Amino acid sequence: SAGGATDDSVEQTAIKVSLKCPITFRRITLPARGHDCKHIQCFDLESYLRLNCERGSWKCPVCSKVALLEGLEVDQFMWGILTASSTDVEEVTIDPNSQWKPVAVKQEPKDEECQGPQPSKKPRPSPPDSLPLSGVRTPTSQMSSSSGHYSPYQTQP
């Protein structure tokens, strides 16, 4: 290539970082990593401490390096992202200038949306608890009066 700047811009691409803890798969509350860890991905400090109080291996769940209690570090940059972003954001991209932006959450497409936009939406069917129950056997009435083992709600003495 002609210029060195082009090569640099190819190498310095934005990286994707998950805001979910690799231990619990829930959103991180307090982002931490071990002193010797070289990755940006964090784990939730409280979840890590709970895990190691029980098991005691003290290894990073991301890179498996030893991450002892006294060497754990809270990542202030990631904490800032977690507090500034909406709770439904699961991933962010961080560019070489430390600018971050949320990755769009992929939602499961509904059957209607797969066919493209439709001018008029059909009314949704009523949920079962709003339907009239005349003639329908419910677990707590007729079924429980028989031997009892048909109902998932019936507890055996």
Tens of pLDDT, residue by residue over 29-54, are: 999 999 999 999 999 999 999 999 87
Res 107: pLDDT:
63
Q: Report d(CA 157, CA 155) in Å as an integer.
A: 6
* Residue pLDDT, tens place only, 2-17: 444 444 545 668 999 9
> How much of the chain exceeds pLDDT 90, in percent?
54
The letter for the amino acid at 7 is D
Q: Report d(CA 85, CA 94) in Å as an integer.
A: 13
Kindly report the average pLDDT of the chain as a whole number. Answer: 76
Q: Which residue in 80, 93, 79 sits closest to 45, CA to CA?
A: 79
Res 120: pLDDT:
52
Q: Report d(CA 13, CA 50) in Å as an integer.
A: 35
Res 50: pLDDT:
93
- Tell me the Cα Rg of the chain: 26
* Residue pLDDT, tens place only, 71-123: 999 999 999 999 999 999 999 999 999 999 999 876 665 555 455 555 555 55
Asked whether 58 and 68 are in contact (CB, 8 A), the reply is yes
